[in-house]
Amino acid sequence: MTTYIPIDALRVKPKPDPANAPVADIRERLFELEEAGELTVHRVPEPYVEVMTKYGRTKKIPEQMTWHHKSCGQCGHIPGYSTAIFWLNRKLGFEYNDPTDQTSCTAWNYYASATSNAAAQAGVAMRNFAAAHEVGYYPIIHCGTSYGHYKEVREEIVHHSDLRAQVRDIMSKLGKDLVMPEEIVHYSEWVHAMRHRFAELQVYDLSNITASVHPACHYYKLVQEDAIYDPDLYGGERTATVSALVEALGAKVGDYSTFFDCCGFGFRHILVERDFTRSFATQRKIEVMKEEANPDVTLTHDTGCVTTLDKSQFAAQAHQKNVGIPVMSDAQFAALAMGAHPYKVCQLHWHTTDYTGLLEKMGIDWETAWIEFEKDVARIERGEIEYLSWEDVGV
Amino acid sequence: MATAPAATFTADPGATLSPGSYADVPYEEKLRLWDEVKADDRFPDYLYGCYECGICVAACPSARFYDFSPRKITQAAAREDVELIFEQMNDDVWNCSQCFSCNRCPRQNSPGGLITLLREVAVKNGLASSKEALEGYTRIVYKIMTTGTQVSPDMLQADAFPDWGPGVTAVSEKLDLWRRALPPETLHTTSMSWQVDQKTLNELYLVWHYTGVMDMIAEVDEGLHMIILDVMEESLEEAGYEI
């Protein structure tokens, strides 16, 4: 029998008082450094949405004029993730920049192999931030690890003057300024801030859909004070990102007891020691979700989490484990709810676990959609078009 | 000259104070490596003490599947048990998932952060265990350092990911077509995650060069170092840089 733990039951805590926050507000120190001529602070462009972070502080989320810091794993192996983020921006009519003057944050490699160091990691981050500032768009970070790592870099740059001087010197050799964004913003925070606008454009009723949420470790465990919390959701005890979107779209949040566990990605493990990854992902996450919430879909907001939770299920199914939950990002879920094409936009054919039951329950005719996609692929193959364009997907 | 301590207090009867399985490595060398870890600017932010509460272990995914404990890592660091730290630097640190669930520590320690530093020193000093841990991973290092993106669509091959099911084969067979069926113009790539400008890559290469990362690569894999250096030097020379 499916049971739900009503998240209303946890609505007991008052809004936290930022005056009593256990950690200083790093943005104040950033502006002091700017005042001292040490760096430039890239201001969040208006209009922006104000959201609340863990200790009650306000964080500005820009609506548009965003510079999309893409994710290695999203673009490489689950490209419907990035495509859905862009589609959502276009659907709202927002101006954005999809840069080619952007590298990976390289943190996946750093956390996997340690073949780097603090100065190099800061250098990579500040090069990307400078590139965004140069073209006048505000960085928005697609990857949870990039987001967490960049917040760590910000701590290090702010608190260690030697490192700051070293990186400033490197930027100077590259012909760039030392620029730090006023806020480090994850795309899922933008999704969170835009969730009610998405709901206004929703075309499918999701009231019969249950989604379990896996929060990405590097989103809320690294520099935890900067993640979005909401006293009206889980009593402010858990990050509200993703779960609030599910509620806004009218679906149910299916709770489960291993919410705080990681997915098992492991950085090096997913690539070279995957028996650990598979075991953890299925035994500690998917099987527990299935047993306790039996969701129609699992939503998360990071590259590694989507990959790990989705791909790990194939081998487990071969062993008759209690798995079989489709996995996608919050952005893909929102886009589907708003009528995005499941293949041309959300690119679900790159995913492993069967998602067709979910689409049917949402009211999406996936069989017709697949025929439409294959027709477009055939046009590309015949040379009638070189690429699928945004016009081809209606935004 | 530093000498091994005759005895050190330990609250953990399971902890090792003897040279253990690395008796052939001089204590002075182990101490040198530990001093290198402590010299990192981030070290004071990662270690404040330890209540022995085990919250980090309860939150740790690796502790469930390996003989691994973030509490022991923190305890050894707090006690400066140089012998045990060296053992951990070789035998334990590569089990860590680097998820930072252990940051839940009530003393504000970051066992995961300590492990990042231990790993970094292990790599920088070319410890055999780090070379072993990174075997099979070097193609990823090559990919990220030369293309600026960590994984590429053409890495999705059935022989590399047999446990991910037949969908991997479908992707690899249709790769070029399916990449061109992506609306964002930057994603029509197969050998890198997205299109990155050559000027941008040159700037990345300069970051590696100026921060000593190439020296670290040379310590763990000389062959990989030569290959990456060739790619970098050719591109930088074409762009008019001298390194």
> How do residues A223-271 score in pLDDT, each as one tens digit?
999 999 999 999 899 999 999 999 999 999 999 999 999 999 999 999 9
Report yes or no on A381 lying in a domain.
no
Q: pTM (2 decimals)?
A: 0.95
Give the model's pLDDT for residue A182. Answer: 98
Mutate to test the interface with A, among B164, B168, B214 (most CBs of A within 10 A): B164
CB contact under 8 A, B104 and A118: no
Give the model's pLDDT for residue B135. Answer: 87
Q: Whole domain around residue A352: which residue ranges?
A: 203-371
- CATH number (domain holding residue A168): 1.20.1050.140
Higher pLDDT, B21 or A57: A57
**B182 at the A interface (CB within 8 A)?**
yes
Residue in A268, A303, A302, A310 with CA at minimum distance from that of residue A285: A310
Average pLDDT, chain A: 96
CB contact under 8 A, B182 and A79: yes
- CATH number (domain holding residue A306): 3.40.50.11810
Give the model's pLDDT for residue A11. Answer: 52
Within this chain, do residues A170 and A254 fall inside the same structural domain, yes or no? Answer: no
- Structural contact between residues B108 and B44, judged by C-beta atoms closer than 8 angstroms: no
Within this chain, do residues A265 and A365 fall inside the same structural domain, yes or no? Answer: yes
Nearest chain A residue (CA) to B182: A388
Say how many residues make up chain A: 395
CB contact under 8 A, B181 and A350: no
pLDDT tens column, A27-52: 999 999 999 999 999 999 999 999 99
Q: Phi, psi at residue A58, to the nearest 5°?
A: -100, 140
CB contact under 8 A, B167 and A265: no
Overall domain count for chain A: 2
Within this chain, do residues A176 and A127 fall inside the same structural domain, yes or no? Answer: yes
Chain A residues with CB-CB distance to B211 below 8 A: 116-117, 119-120, 123, 166, 170
- Structural contact between residues B106 and B53, judged by C-beta atoms closer than 8 angstroms: yes
Q: Residue ranges of chain B with pLDDT lower than 70?
A: 1-20
pLDDT tens column, A138-168: 999 999 999 999 999 999 999 999 999 999 9
Report yes or no on A221 lying in a domain.
yes
DSSP for A193-255, please give it: HHHHHHHHT--S--TT-EEEEE--HHHHTSSGGGSBB-TTSGGGSSB-TTHHHHHHTTPEE--
Within this chain, do residues A166 and A276 fall inside the same structural domain, yes or no? Answer: no
Q: Phi, psi at residue A67, to the nearest 5°?
A: -105, 110
Within this chain, do residues A209 and A176 fall inside the same structural domain, yes or no? Answer: no
Within this chain, do residues A162 and A211 fall inside the same structural domain, yes or no? Answer: no
Q: Both tokens of residue B67?
A: 């003989």
> What is the nearest CA distance from A7 to chain B, expressed in angstroms?
22
Give the model's pLDDT for residue A385. Answer: 97
Domains and CATH numbers, chain B: 20-133 (1.10.1060.10), 138-238 (no CATH)
DSSP for B28-50, please give it: HHHHHHHHHHHHSTTHHHH-S--
Give the model's pLDDT for residue B10. Answer: 44
Within this chain, do residues A158 and A265 fall inside the same structural domain, yes or no? Answer: no
How large is the average pLDDT for residues A113-123? 97
Give the model's pLDDT for residue B242. Answer: 79
CB contact under 8 A, B151 and A73: yes
CB contact under 8 A, A311 and B163: yes
> What is the nearest CA distance from B234 to chain A, expressed in angstroms?
18
- Cβ-nearest to B137 among A106, A112, A350: A112
Report yes or no on A72 lying in a domain.
yes
CB contact under 8 A, B144 and A264: no
Scanning B224-243 for CB atoms below 8 A from A yields none
Please state whether beta strands A297-300 and A327-329 pair in parallel, antiparallel, or not at all (unpaired): parallel
CB contact under 8 A, A103 and B201: yes
- Cβ-nearest to A352 among B141, B150, B164: B164
β-pair partners for A252: A210
- Structural contact between residues A360 and A389, judged by C-beta atoms closer than 8 angstroms: no
Scanning B115-154 for CB atoms below 8 A from A yields 116, 119-120, 122-124, 130, 133-137, 140-141, 144-145, 148-153
Mutate to test the interface with A, among B109, B135, B151 (most CBs of A within 10 A): B151
> What is the nearest CA distance from A281 to chain B, expressed in angstroms?
10
How large is the average pLDDT for residues A196-205? 98
DSSP for A42-77, please give it: EPPPSSEEEEEBTTS-EEEEE-SSEEEE--HHHHHH
Chain A residues with CB-CB distance to B179 below 8 A: 79
Give the model's pLDDT for residue B136. Answer: 85
Share above pLDDT 70 across residues of chain A, in percent, rounded to a whole number: 96
How far apart are alpha carbons B190 and B203 in whole angstroms? 22
- Structural contact between residues A148 and B116, judged by C-beta atoms closer than 8 angstroms: no
Nearest chain B residue (CA) to A381: B177
Q: Both tokens of residue A198?
A: 């998405």
Give the residue carrying structure tokens 């750093």.
A110
CA dihedral A372, A325, B159, B155 (to 10 degrees): 60
Within this chain, do residues A216 and A103 fall inside the same structural domain, yes or no? Answer: no
Give A130's Cβ-side CA count (13 Å radius): 21
Within this chain, do residues A222 and A93 fall inside the same structural domain, yes or no? Answer: no
CB contact under 8 A, B141 and A109: yes
Residue in B137, B192, B8 with CA at minimum distance from that of residue A114: B137
Report yes or no on A387 lying in a domain.
no
How large is the average pLDDT for residues A380-387? 98
Question: Would you give the DSSP letter of residue A19?
Answer: G
Q: Which residues contact A321 (CB under 8 A, 6 or more apart)?
A: A282, A287
- Cβ-nearest to B181 among A76, A110, A377: A377
Give the residue carrying structure tokens 């003989």.
B67
Chain A residues with CB-CB distance to B123 below 8 A: 113-115
How large is the average pLDDT for residues A72-98? 98
CB pairs under 8 A between A and B: 253
Report yes or no on A394 lying in a domain.
no
Give the model's pLDDT for residue B18. Answer: 53
Tell me, what amino acid is at B133? A
> What is the nearest CA distance from B23 to chain A, expressed in angstroms?
26
Share above pLDDT 90 across residues of chain A, in percent, rounded to a whole number: 94
Within this chain, do residues A277 and A147 fall inside the same structural domain, yes or no? Answer: no
Report yes or no on A15 lying in a domain.
no
Nearest chain A residue (CA) to B100: A221
Within this chain, do residues A182 and A208 fall inside the same structural domain, yes or no? Answer: no
Report yes or no on A90 lying in a domain.
yes
Q: Given a cut of 90, is residue A12 above it in pLDDT? A: no
Residue A47, preceding peptide bond in cis (omega within 30° of 0): yes
Within this chain, do residues A275 and A329 fall inside the same structural domain, yes or no? Answer: yes
How far apart are alpha carbons A303 and A299 in whole angstroms? 12
How far apart are alpha carbons A292 and A288 in whole angstroms? 6
Q: Which residues contact A137 (CB under 8 A, 6 or more apart)?
A: A65, A66, A67, A96, A97, A99
How far apart are alpha carbons B145 and B140 in whole angstroms? 8
How far apart are alpha carbons B89 and B82 in whole angstroms? 10
Give the model's pLDDT for residue A13. Answer: 63
**B69 at the A interface (CB within 8 A)?**
no
Chain B residues with CB-CB distance to A173 below 8 A: 206, 210
